[in-house]
Amino acid sequence: MTTNSEYLVFRLKPKARRLFTPTLVLAVVSFALAFIVEQISATDYNYALIAGATIVVLFWVFPVLSYLACYLELTSTRLVYRFGFLGIRKRKLLLSELSSIEIQKEGRLGRQVISILSVDGNEFRVGGYAKNKHLAAEIEAWAKAAS
């Protein structure tokens, strides 16, 4: 009796480079609040503190939560891509349904995106990960093994 259990091959997080701008916003807000603490009245500083906290929540907390919830997971039978705020959106593709895989350049900066086509014609695009060629080859090898 054989069991066909699914096991995790690898799980990748996007490049941490995405967090540079939010961390820069956090640093600027922190330094600005520290700089003006002695220069304005307590009431005005409370308003500045509320504005700074709002900016930090919008431009640092939300992007960090989005980054932490995003991943690409390859198991022995499927490919799962979770993205969006708090990882709400999820796309799944069975490896046996994989038709073709190729690496494309997107936009003016030439950011590489892995484009995966399924048998039914749906396109599955994944970007923002390091070593795209190695990742594409690994997915393709596991897809051949799954079929």
Q: If pLDDT is split at 50, 70 and 90, which confidence band does 36 have?
A: very high
DSSP state of 120: T
Residue 46's contacts (CB-CB under 8 Å, 6 or more residues apart) are none
| Per-residue pLDDT tens over the stretch 62-85 | 999 999 999 888 888 888 888 888
pTM exceeding 0.85: no
What is the rounded distance in angstroms from the CA atom of residue 4 to the CA atom of residue 1?
Answer: 10
Structural domains in the chain plus CATH codes: 1-147 (2.30.29.30)
Distance linking the first and last C-alpha atoms of the chain: 20
Residue 125's contacts (CB-CB under 8 Å, 6 or more residues apart) are 113, 114, 115, 116
Would you call 107 exposed, middle or buried from its count of C-beta atoms within 10 A (0-12, 13-18, 19+)? Answer: exposed
What is the rounded distance in angstroms from the CA atom of residue 79 to the CA atom of residue 77?
Answer: 7
On the question of pLDDT at 4 being above 80, the answer is no
Write down the pLDDT at residue 113: 84
The mean pLDDT value of the chain amounts to 86
Question: What are the helix (H) ranges across the chain?
Answer: 20-36, 42-56, 62-69, 132-146
Region label for 21, one of left (φ > 0), alpha (ψ between -120 and 50) or beta (otherwise): alpha
Inter-residue contact 115 to 123 (CB < 8 Å): yes
What is the rounded distance in angstroms from the CA atom of residue 130 to the CA atom of residue 105?
Answer: 14
Q: If pLDDT is split at 50, 70 and 90, which confidence band does 90 have?
A: confident
